[in-house]
Amino acid sequence: MTGTHKLDLLNNSISYFREAVAYAQHETLETKHWKFAIVHVVQAMELAFKERLRRIHPTFIYENIDRGDRTVTLRAALARLRNPKIGNMPISDAEANKIEKAFELRNQLTHFEFDHLREHIELKFAEIFSFMIFFYRLHLSLDTSEFIDEDQHARIIKLVRARAELMARALEYMKSRGHLTVWCCPSCVEDMFVVEEQQCCFCHHKESIVECPSCGTESFESDLEDISDEFEYSMDEGVMRLENDYGMERVACPECVGRMREKIEDLRREHYYDHLAMEEYYASEPRRG
């Protein structure tokens, strides 16, 4: 039984989360799409909570740990996760209240007629969506790509409310981690890229931080530019062979590239003048008979 839950809880949670994202991406103002989005994202959250409890101890996913015949409700799962003796998760009262409200809304949308405005449902979706992004990562040790595609994630964060909620949570996350080195993310162009984690905590863009081979300054790997087109090559039996790299590395950071190209041009000009000087020298020498 435990093995079955191990497979179903996490995979089903991710499946519901992906469905929620798909509904949220519909380019329409129809409320029904947001209805299905909130229903699915809350279901994903409930299953994720149970998976976290299962990892603490398999019996914690059951309402009655002595019988093991019925799993806990979302409210009970949340209470156990916040319990210092069980999950000891730092979920604030304000955050728990948001989860409770989303749970209540899910029940209303599922079991009763509803008259909520689309904007209200959209807001609730944004709150739970942003919560789940960090829950999957921090508490279920998942990589972002395991529960949402990069393109889907990019489209979702364009939603104004989802973006605002994600921004607030990302700032909260950075604050909780203490002193971090933060750069402007090349993907979302927000000052949210945590150098120590090599990942943006807002859009979750990942990229290696590398040293410039020329000056040693740290830089995004994508910022390094290839200057090997400036090198001298020769063709030998159809094979391109490097003749002269002018003592330069193949790639460099933007700050170094201009200087390196200028230096190569100076060296190339110097070699050219040296060549002319040698030709003039040999041309002026008396011919030996």
Contacts of residue 17, defined as CB under 8 A and 6 or more positions apart, other chains included, come to: 40, 41, 44, 132, 136, 147, 148
Using CA atoms, how far apart are residues 178 and 227, in angstroms rounded to an integer? 39
Q: Number of folded domains in the chain?
A: 2
pLDDT for 73 beyond 70:
yes
Decide: helix, strand or coil at residue 31.
Answer: helix
Q: Which of 83, 57, 59 is nearest to 72 (CA)?
A: 59
Q: Which pLDDT score is estimated for 42?
A: 92
DSSP 158: T
Angle made by CA atoms 125, 17, 154, in degrees to the nearest 5: 70
**Domain residues for 273?**
208-289
121 domain-assigned: yes
Q: What is the pLDDT of residues 258-285, one digit of tens each?
A: 888 888 888 888 877 777 777 777 777 6
pLDDT for 27 beyond 80:
no
Co-location of 6 and 143 in the same domain: yes
Co-location of 76 and 11 in the same domain: yes
259 domain-assigned: yes
Q: How confident is the model at residue 15 (pLDDT cuts 50, 70, 90)?
A: very high
Co-location of 40 and 158 in the same domain: yes
Contacts of residue 47, defined as CB under 8 A and 6 or more positions apart, other chains included, come to: 9, 10, 12, 13, 16
pLDDT for 139 beyond 70:
yes
Q: How confident is the model at residue 51 (pLDDT cuts 50, 70, 90)?
A: very high
Decide: helix, strand or coil at residue 175.
Answer: helix
In order of 110, 121, 202, 229, the CA distances from 116 in angstroms are 13, 7, 29, 61
Decide: helix, strand or coil at residue 239.
Answer: strand
pLDDT for 136 beyond 90:
yes
